[in-house]
């Protein structure tokens, strides 16, 4: 099935999610362009970088979740996907609003308006976590009709996505404690310690199912597809675990100890290699009809 076919066959709630996802990605790219054009800072709690990263991350995640859950049997899926879509929009819009105002979006209770934004972001985060749990459960209860390779990819991607959501929740909880005990400066400086884990785990729900989809388009037999996806799953889980170790140990992602850095690089290389294999094979062989 081609990407165009996915969009054409999508149900109304999925089409809305895809359109919203595209808009969020465009908004993120616009903010990247603004940062590059103006030379504005890419660091700090008030940087437009947050508007860029939230737009890009939530846009790609929303599109991924909309597609992946379309493959599953999910009770009241339209409701849950609608809630997830709305929460993605609220999170991105409010973070972008605060960035343009030049004030922190999270852990900011300086004014009633800022406190309302922070509370709304927390509520939106809770909605995202709950919907993520619902979709994760559906990955196990509603995936019986999927081919073994896609079933494994979807289940792993949704579980690892929950790790990303958990990392976000831990950062907010940590920041809240630091805000109360050490003040805003320390809170803003230390809250993002799990960002690398949050980023890596967020996108497994796209990478792994996309690999299974690519392999299926090549006409490869079930056993070969499953073998490649298994390798990718192991690599992704190892990469996620290693990044988590680095994050919790306070190790800079770009300056790990040699052994840890080598293991992380190997896991990433294997994951990339499986993707390249799928893409090259798909290009060289006609799609299945």
185 shares a domain with 130:
no
- Residue 70 resides in a domain: yes
Which DSSP letter does residue 288 get? Answer: P
pLDDT in tens, 212-225: 998 887 777 888 89
pLDDT digits (tens, 9 = 90+) for 67-126: 999 999 888 889 999 999 999 999 999 999 999 999 999 888 889 999 999 999 999 999
What Rg, from alpha-carbon coordinates, does the chain have? 20
CA distance 230 to 152: 8
At residue 165's C-alpha, the angle toward residues 160 and 167, to 5°, is 95
Inside any domain, residue 159: no
* Nearest one of 177, 170, 164 to 236, comparing CA atoms: 164
Residue 247 falls inside a structural domain: yes
Residue 111 shares a structural domain with residue 9: yes
Domain boundary among 105, 126, 145: 145
pLDDT band of residue 204 (cuts 50, 70, 90) is very high
140 and 11 fall within a common domain: yes
89 and 208 in a common domain: no
Residue 65 placed within a domain: yes
Distance CA 95, CA 101 (A): 10
Nearest CA among 130, 104, 110 for reference residue 189? 104
pLDDT over threshold 70, residue 187 = yes
Q: Which of 106, 126, 145 is the last residue of a domain?
A: 145
Q: How confident is the model at residue 285 (pLDDT cuts 50, 70, 90)?
A: low
Residue range 134-180, pLDDT digits in tens: 999 999 988 888 999 999 999 999 999 999 999 999 999 988 888 88
Domain count across the chain: 2
Question: Are 81 and 211 part of one and the same domain?
Answer: no
Angle (nearest 5°) at CA 239 between 236 and 244: 125
Which pLDDT band holds residue 289 (cuts at 50, 70, 90)?
Answer: very low
Q: Which domain holds residue 204?
A: 176-289
The burial of 174, by beta-carbon neighbours within 10 Å (0-12 exposed, 13-18 middle, 19 or more buried), is given as middle
190/62 same-domain check: no
Last residue of a domain, one of 102, 128, 145: 145
Distance CA 242, CA 150 (A): 25
Mean pLDDT score of the chain: 90
């Amino acid at each position: 099935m081609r990407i165009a076919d996915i969009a054409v066959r999508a149900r109304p709630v999925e089409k809305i999610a895809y359109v919203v996802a595209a808009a969020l990605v465009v908004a993120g790219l616009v903010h990247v362009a603004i940062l590059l054009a103006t030379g504005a800072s890419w660091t700090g709690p008030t940087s437009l970088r947050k508007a860029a990263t939230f737009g890009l991350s939530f846009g790609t995640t929303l599109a991924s979740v909309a597609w992946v859950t379309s493959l599953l049997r999910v009770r009241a899926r339209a409701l849950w996907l609608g809630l997830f879509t709305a929460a993605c929009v609220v999170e991105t819009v409010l973070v972008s609003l605060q960035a343009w105002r030049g004030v922190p979006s999270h852990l900011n209770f300086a004014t009633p308006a800022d406190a309302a934004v922070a509370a709304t972001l927390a509520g939106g985060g809770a909605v995202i976590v709950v919907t993520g749990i619902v979709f994760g459960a559906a990955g196990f209860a509603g995936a019986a009709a999927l081919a073994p390779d896609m079933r494994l990819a979807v289940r792993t991607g949704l579980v690892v996505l929950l790790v990303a959501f958990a990392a976000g929740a831990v950062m907010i909880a940590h920041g809240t404690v630091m805000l109360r005990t050490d003040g805003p400066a320390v809170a803003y400086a230390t809250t993002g310690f799990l960002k690398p884990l949050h980023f890596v785990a967020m996108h497994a729900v796209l990478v792994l199912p996309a690999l299974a989809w690519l392999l299926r388009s090549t006409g490869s037999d079930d056993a070969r597809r499953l073998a490649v996806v298994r390798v990718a799953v192991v690599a992704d889980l190892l990469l996620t675990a290693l990044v988590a170790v680095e994050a919790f140990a306070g190790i800079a992602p770009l300056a790990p100890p040699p052994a840890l850095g080598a293991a992380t690089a190997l896991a990433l290389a294997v994951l990339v290699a499986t993707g390249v294999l799928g893409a090259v094979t798909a290009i060289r062989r006609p799609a299945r009809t």
